Amino acid sequence: MNLIKTLTWSAVFAAAVSLGAAAYAQQPGTGGKATPDQSASQDRNREPEPASISGELTRVMPDQKAFAVKSASGAEMLFRYNDQTVITGAENNAAGLATSSGSQVTVSYKNDSAGNLATKIEVHPKR
C-alpha cells in the first residue's frame, strides 16, 4: 500500500514538472529579441506611414465619402474620408467640404488596402 502511494505521488509530481516545462517552453522568451515570426507579425500590424499632398479640391462625392485633389503637377488623386477624418476650414465638417470645390487643400492620408484614406483635410481660404 505504501509503495502504491509513493508511485502515485511520484507520477503526479513527474506529470506536473513535465507540464510546467512544456508551458515554459512555449512562452516567447527571446531575451528582448524578436524572432522572424514576431517581426513579420509586427510589420503586418504596423500602421502605414502617413503622407500628405497639397492641391486644388476638384470634386467632392459626399454620398461615397470621397473627394479628388489635383496636385501642382496636374495629377489627380482620389481619397476616401470617414467619421474619424479631421476636417479644418470649410465649416470643419464634411458638408462644408462639399461646398469647397476649387479651394486649395492639404490632405494627410494613409494608403490602406482600399486606397487612400484621408486622416486630416485642411481647407485653405480662397484668395
Quick: pLDDT tens for 66-86: 999 999 899 999 999 999 999
Residues 6+ apart with CB under 8 A from 28: 35, 38
Confidence of residue 46 (pLDDT cuts 50, 70, 90): low
Over residues 10-30, mean pLDDT: 60
